[in-house]
Structure 1
């Protein structure tokens, strides 16, 4: 390109910029607008993360239930007896089994049982504790404790029996064992729990030589959890929520502690960094039963629910561990979508 052409182009560009210069805002004046726009974009990204994070928290933390060892004699293992049935997307069944790496081949029971009920109107997820010693009818095996249903037919039979008992459809759920739960709790750096009554462990004792906790043997001092709020490592949290013998209301208090642990995990998993650490561990710890529904799909359903507020519910039970007919209105509330109203009218069953 010769000098004349270059000069002509230069003059044309100079004239063009000069004509539009008055229409261009001063750069300093643009900075507040640019900063405001960037702030809005960051806020939108945070909101999108909060939605997806909250969904994963619920999908993950709701599945992180923990096993409570059942000392009753083993029952024979047989094939699954029934199909899961047609689900209702409002309810998910969460089971914690007593399977442990060192007890391969032993009979496995579902000793922590939670029904997760989602209420779209209040955007609340409720935890309904199902006592492991609840008396239920198991096809071909008669009256049994609820946790024995897993022995006879795994997750599918347990879901079918409890769904029929409560009169609700169950969309799916998850199963986790002792080792998996502890690994996930450790992955998020432990949890903060409040001990409501002096709790004495029947599983762990203090090793006087090392000052550390170890499996309880004769002559050892048991680990004791004194009332108060503090941070729990994974092994402490799981041992604490396993205890019932030293508690005022036995298994009912233990179920309350389990619900507290679930809520504490939900709060920890609200931190994106901790969530990222937990997800790889949870992938190997959970046995999902979602039918045709994937975990991301479930997360999408739960995206608008409050992961940090997960109220607990207790079944209205007789002294013989059978349910009051109709669950004193709870079953109808589960079917009709009126659990918040039922909970407000029956605070004695809410924790």
Structure 2
């Protein structure tokens, strides 16, 4: 059955045995959204944007050749699509050759596509599971995260633009150390954990069911864990989405936005761990942030790229099977800037 919310459903496939992977990365799936929250604080708008601009690094060659890219449909010309990537500079490679390193030394793992509609009345965040089996231009069928190994960020962008026939406007990557610093700069982030679990380490953290406030180290453990769950990456994606929304709620709270010291500290902690494409400069960040001054966490919708559960490829790899029929509907919604209608039609 189609899976839109990161939930695991029995599709007749046998759940493959998990292989050991160290250094699992998290994706702070709201790099651009964090900026929006930080940059709506009145007179601080452009000064904070410049501070962010000066603190971040650039992703070189983030996009494929222009001739290989789709053009934006007229109906969506004012919408913004941002591809968010994760990296983990603490990770070690133990035979996991499918993970290619990003420019800051981290490795790709999870990604999200953020769609900001032209009316700026909401934000739609689509998690793309790393094992999703797709056509990689020039390389045939493979997992989406293999695109990094084959051609870096540009090939990943090309793969998703080809899948969705939609242009990606910007790319941003964050190292998990920045995620940790962001959480601590906010004084911790409150979540409502739906499932009690213990991190799969001898000295791992235990997360009880219910409301709790996490510090940076605890937050990292919460969003990176997958071995503790029967459905593995599916629950990890749900936890990532839950925590990102909690971060946004904290960032957009009156207590944060009226505290210049906290805002400045958050930018200071966050910016050095972010890499963005060369077109995402201070002016664009401030302009986007200013246009979304009324957006709050309640206006954000999270869902997973439609899939039919897990399976195995012809060569025996464990994969996530994309639901191409529903993905086609999603692609059309992106082109028409009607993702809100797509969300409503699919009960998200």
State the TM-score, normalizing by the size of structure 1. Answer: 0.66
Per-residue CA deviation, residues 165-223 of structure 1 (Å, 9 max, x unaligned), is 12211001211122222122222222111111122212x443xxxxxxxxxxxxxxx43
SS at match of 2:129: coil
Q: Is the 8 A contact 2:190 2:211 kept in 1?
A: yes
SS at match of 2:322: coil
Structure 1: distance between partners of 2:340 and 2:43: 23
| Alignment correspondent of 2:302 | 312
- Please state if 1:300 is matched with 2:287: yes
Distance 1:281-1:154 versus aligned 2 partners, 3 A rule: farther
| Alignment correspondent of 1:173 | 171
SS at match of 1:110: coil
SS at match of 1:264: helix
- Please state if 1:97 is matched with 2:79: no
- Please state if 1:226 is matched with 2:208: yes
| Alignment correspondent of 1:191 | 189
Distance 1:259-1:123 versus aligned 2 partners, 3 A rule: same
| Alignment correspondent of 2:41 | 49
SS at match of 2:110: strand
Structure 2: distance between partners of 1:329 and 1:107: 31
Structure 2: distance between partners of 1:328 and 1:51: 43
Q: Please, which moves more after superposition, 141-150 or 291-300? A: 291-300
**How far apart are residue 52 of structure 1 and its match?**
6.7
SS at match of 2:291: coil
Structure 2: distance between partners of 1:139 and 1:328: 18
Please report the RMSD computed on the Cα atoms of aligned residues, expressed in angstroms. 3.2
Q: Is the 8 A contact 1:135 1:144 kept in 2?
A: yes
The number of equivalent residue pairs is: 265
**Equivalent residue runs for 1:104-119 within 5 Å:** 107-108=100-101, 109-119=107-117
Distance 1:190-1:120 versus aligned 2 partners, 3 A rule: same
**How far apart are residue 114 of structure 1 and its match?**
0.4
Q: Is the 8 A contact 1:316 1:328 kept in 2?
A: no
**How far apart are residue 307 of structure 1 and its match?**
3.9
Structure 2: distance between partners of 1:182 and 1:205: 21
**How far apart are residue 267 of structure 1 and its match?**
2.2
Q: Is the 8 A contact 2:306 2:322 kept in 1?
A: yes
SS at match of 1:123: coil
| Alignment correspondent of 2:27 | none
**How far apart are residue 53 of structure 1 and its match?**
6.1
Asked which structure has the greater RCO (Cα within 8 Å, sep 6+), the reply is: 2
Structure 1: distance between partners of 2:185 and 2:40: 24
**How far apart are residue 162 of structure 1 and its match?**
1.0
**How far apart are residue 86 of structure 1 and its match?**
6.3
Distance 1:178-1:330 versus aligned 2 partners, 3 A rule: same
Structure 2: distance between partners of 1:52 and 1:329: 40
Structure 1: distance between partners of 2:228 and 2:45: 37
| Alignment correspondent of 1:8 | none
| Alignment correspondent of 1:41 | none
| Alignment correspondent of 1:323 | 322
Distance 1:341-1:48 versus aligned 2 partners, 3 A rule: closer
| Alignment correspondent of 2:160 | 162
State the TM-score, normalizing by the size of structure 2. Answer: 0.67
Q: Which has the higher helix share?
A: 1
Structure 2: distance between partners of 1:94 and 1:229: 27
SS at match of 1:117: strand
Q: Is the 8 A contact 1:185 1:233 kept in 2?
A: yes
Distance 1:275-1:80 versus aligned 2 partners, 3 A rule: closer
SS at match of 1:303: helix
SS at match of 1:322: strand
Structure 2: distance between partners of 1:129 and 1:153: 21
Where structure 1 has 5 or more consecutive residues not aligned to the other structure, the ranges are 1-46, 65-78, 207-221
Q: Please, which moves more after superposition, 156-165 or 241-250? A: 241-250
Larger Rg: 1
| Alignment correspondent of 2:341 | 341
| Alignment correspondent of 2:332 | 332
Structure 2: distance between partners of 1:131 and 1:51: 39
| Alignment correspondent of 1:33 | none
